[in-house]
Amino acid sequence: MYRIDIWVEHKVVIEVKSVDVVLPIFKKQVLTYLRQTNCKLGLLLNFNVPVMKDGIERIVNGLDE
């Protein structure tokens, strides 16, 4: 069972990870949350990077992959 890590104002889904490599399944997980909540924007945050800006991935519901 999956649970959304952070859901901001019912508009943005945030998934938090701390992994060496961001796998495609993590992006699919965020996209699934976006579809289930009818949100448009999701952020995948990976804290296992030297500079945090390199660990942020923006995912938009409705865009072709």
Instruction: Dump pLDDT digits (tens) for 8-50.
Output: 999 999 999 999 999 999 999 999 999 999 999 999 999 999 9
Give 1 or 39, the one with higher predicted confidence: 39
pLDDT of 56 strictly over 80? yes
Residues 6+ apart with CB under 8 A from 3: none
**Is 1 inside any structural domain?**
no
Largest Cα–Cα separation, the chain: 33
**Is 44 inside any structural domain?**
yes
**Is 12 inside any structural domain?**
yes
Q: Which residue has the tokens 């508009």?
A: 11
> What pLDDT is recorded for position 64?
56
Q: Mark out the alpha helices in the chain (DSSP H runs).
A: 24-37
The domain of 51 spans: 6-60
**Is 55 inside any structural domain?**
yes
* Total tally of structural domains belonging to the chain: 1
**Is 17 inside any structural domain?**
yes
> What pLDDT is recorded for position 37?
93
**Is 30 inside any structural domain?**
yes
> What pLDDT is recorded for position 62?
84
Give 63 or 54, the one with higher predicted confidence: 54
